[in-house]
Structure 1
Amino acid sequence: MASTSHRALRLLSLLEPRRRWPLRDLAARLEVSERTVRRDIDTLRELGYPITTVHGPDCGYRLDPGHTLPPLLFDRDQALAVAVALQTAPSTVFGLEDDTARALATLHQVMPDELRASMESLRLTRLRNYWEFPAPPIAPSALTAVGTAIRHRHVLVTETLRADGTRPAPTDDDFEPARRIEPHHLVVWAGRWYVVAYDLADDQWRVHRVDRMRPRPTTHRFAVREVPDNDLAHFVMSSHDRGDTPADWPCTGTARLNLPAHVVAHWAPGGSVVEDLDPEHCRLTLGAWSWAGVAGILATFDTDLTDLHPPELIEACRRLAHRWGTATKPTSPATDDPS
């Protein structure tokens, strides 16, 4: 009976993410006969899962959506994935600490002993990488508004916010008028949520920080467009004007690099800003815990640096150059002690 229950649980986990499974493929994945798969399908139906038989030359089964299901069942890997996701979600979405804690407690109560022990071993301590500075958590309402617009293909009207979440007044220098965009994809990178969207004002693709947006939904639908870069992650990382702002580090400096903006944007750490100067040059603003740290990151781009600011950064570069120069000098051979 335990083997049958375990197999039925695996069968259910296979049916959930896919629209339809051919019978022979299910039998192959479960390493049982097609007759056994049919019996397990009947078992799941008796438990209330709405599994439909798909007729035709390549018959199979699918789990219908939109029905009230019995309590969800997770296999071991699914339960651990949910536990990890619940513990990492509050770092990027504001106000979920209590909700995720309650969800973890509920999941913990219904897990078998073996899974509960595995979950306990995955209780995470959140550490911050010194070279990555995630954005402040975003409001669930903004994330929901953007996600819903993507799902329904509805145009969004967005207002650009400052880094502190305030909206500039029309008389302020950093004020930008509201824009109409077609949101196509959500991407998470370096602890930041970005939306890849087609801007209707200037007819081009752009990347927007969701935490820097105040989205207003509309009912105006748009057609799917082909994203200019088939690799969404590459498109986001190589977009220098994605709305990033300098992170709050103890030391922040700038330099002019002899590299294109899209190259530097791809490899710059989170919390840095890349400004496009011309096709072959850009300005990078970044921070670190020390001036030597800022200089060290700049050195990783392996290109000429000019127009450095502030003076503390220039002095740090001189100190590092001296240290590196000393390190490359050949050491004197040891001499025998005549005594």
Structure 2
Amino acid sequence: MTSEMTGRALRLLSLLQTRREWSGADLAERLEVTVRTVRRDIDRLRDLGYPVDSARGHAGGYRLAAGTDLPPLLLDDEEAVAIAVALRTAAGGLSGIEETAVRALAKLEQVLPRRLRGRVSALQAAASGIAWETAGPRAAPELLALLAVACRDHEVLTFDYATRAGTAATRRVEPQHLVASGNVWYLLAHDTDRNDWRIFRLDRITHPTPTGRRLPPRPLPGDSTPADFVAARLASAPTRYRAVATVQATAEQVHARTHGLGTRVRPVDNTTCRVDASDDSLARIAQTLAILPPAYTLDADDAVLAHLRTAAQHLVRATSGNSDFCGD
């Protein structure tokens, strides 16, 4: 009986960590026990030091509150592997998080079962990517965490936002999703004052303030996913430099070797696609073009072509006479 109670208490703790608030009836249904048994198990968790808040009412409501110490997280195998791999890739686009990710990874891998360590290593060895070292915009992890909670709880936020022109204004939004595109993080939200969907770059958001008001989530227009919606908005946004490549490859082949381009890749026919690499940054245009299949023609502004020629000349000079430089 004691073993059964302990196992059920651990399952209860795991459930409390997955949602902001649970009703007693929902917990009882998940655990296949009575509401009264749930109340007793909640009391046992409190005796063990877990801060579980409860709401009054017939069914009751429970949530795991913030405490002075972080309670142990209960992860299944898939969750543990996903977290370990994510920590190893160290969250691009976030400022000051790499060293923290290494410390967290060391703690996690110390307690991982041997069978899971092998899966993590295999996944990391098989999955590789290109990390561009740029001085691009960086989002603070604290801001990302705050916005993630607001998206999860559908809580209305206010914040100050700097536009591309440098002007700042207070915005009031219903946050829905966070989307990463390259090294830039975006908040997809419904702007309550403009009654329209907007995307906001995290590096331009300051003074975020939760209002305490929660609203039901809004469906996105059409059948688009959050990532597709953000990609479409980015593709239609005005940019400083124009660069469009017609690639001798299918859209599927281009998507297979790139990420974050979304609807900027458009099929032309069964063997050709068009990639809109337009951007405010000449360096980012060059990076986008560098990871495309090599057979393409480019329609671009003179400034883009001049930047690419200069970059190519630097590469030729840097590798001239270097027999160790080669590529297949």
**TM-score of the superposition, structure 2-length normalised?**
0.55
C-alpha contact 1:145 1:215 (8 A) present in aligned 2: no
State the partner residue of 1:284: 276
Q: Distance in 2 between matches of 1:156 and 1:96?
A: 24
Q: Is the 1:198–1:204 Cα contact (8 Å) retained in structure 2?
A: yes
Alignment deviations for residues 212-267 of structure 1 (CA, whole Å, 9 cap, x no partner): x444438898x989787375444312212457899xxxxx7535xxxxxxxxxxxx
Partner of 1:118: 116
* Preserved CA contact (<8 Å) 1:209 1:244: no
Q: 2:66 is aligned with what amino acid?
A: G
For residues 69-97 of structure 1, give each alpha carbon's deviation from its aligned partner in whole angstroms, at most 9, with x where no partner exists. 56323132444443344334423323322
| Equivalent position of 1:19 in the other structure | 21
Task: Compute the displacement of 1:136 (Å).
Answer: 7.0
Whole-Å separation in 2 of the counterparts to 1:21 and 1:37: 10
Give the greater-gyration-radius structure (CA).
1
SS in 2 for 1:287: helix
User: Structure 1 residue 108 and structure 2 residue 109: aligned?
Assistant: yes
The aligned counterpart of 1:180 is 169
* AA of the residue aligned to 1:121: R
- Tell me the secondary structure at the aligned position of residue 185 of structure 2: strand
2:221 is aligned with 1:229: yes
Superposed CA RMSD in Å reads 4.9
Question: 5+ residue gaps in structure 1?
Answer: 161-175, 247-251, 256-267, 275-281, 296-306, 311-339
Q: Which runs of 5+ in 2 are unaligned?
A: 247-257, 265-273, 278-287, 302-328
Residue 40 of structure 1 corresponds to 41
Q: 1:144 and 2:143 equivalent? A: yes
Structure 2 counterpart of 1:322: none
Post-superposition CA distance 1:3-48 (Å, at most 9, x none): 433321111111231412224x333322445565444333212102
Aligned ranges for residues 143-222 of structure 1 at < 5 Å? 144=143, 147=146, 153-160=157-164, 176-180=165-169, 182=171, 184-185=174-175, 186-191=177-182, 192-196=184-188, 205-210=197-202, 213-217=203-207
TM-superposition CA deviations, 1:271-298 (whole Å, max 9, x none): 5996xxxxxxx98336254664446xxx
1:121 aligned counterpart, secondary structure: helix
Secondary structure of 2:15's aligned partner:
helix
Distance 2:12 2:145 in 1: 34
Rounded Cα–Cα distance in structure 2 between residues aligned with 1:233 and 1:119: 31
CA distance in structure 1 between the aligned counterparts of 2:204 and 2:52, rounded to whole angstroms: 41
Cα distance in 2, alignment partners of residues 208 and 49 from structure 1 = 37
Deviation at 1:49, TM superposition (A): 1.8
Q: Return the letter of the residue paired with 1:28.
A: E
Indicate if the aligned counterparts of 2:179 and 2:188 stay in contact, CA closer than 8 A: no
> Given that residues 135 and 271 in structure 1 are in contact (C-alpha distance below 8 angstroms), is that contact kept between their aligned partners in structure 2?
no
Equivalent residue letter for 1:153: L
| Deviation, structure 1 residue 269 | 5.7
Structure 2 equivalent of residue 254 of structure 1? 245
Name the SS for the 1:92 alignment partner. coil
Counterpart Cα distance in 2 of 1:145 and 1:52: 26
Aligned length: 253
Mapped contact 2:97–2:141 kept (Cα < 8 A): no
* Partner secondary structure for residue 140 of structure 2: helix
| Preserved contact between residue 27 and residue 33 of structure 1 (Cα < 8 Å) | yes
Q: Give distance in 2, aligned partners of 1:158 and 1:233.
A: 22
Structure 2 contact 245–299 (Cα < 8 Å) conserved: yes
Shift of 1:153: 2.3
In 1: Cα distance, 2:209 partner to 2:20 partner: 30
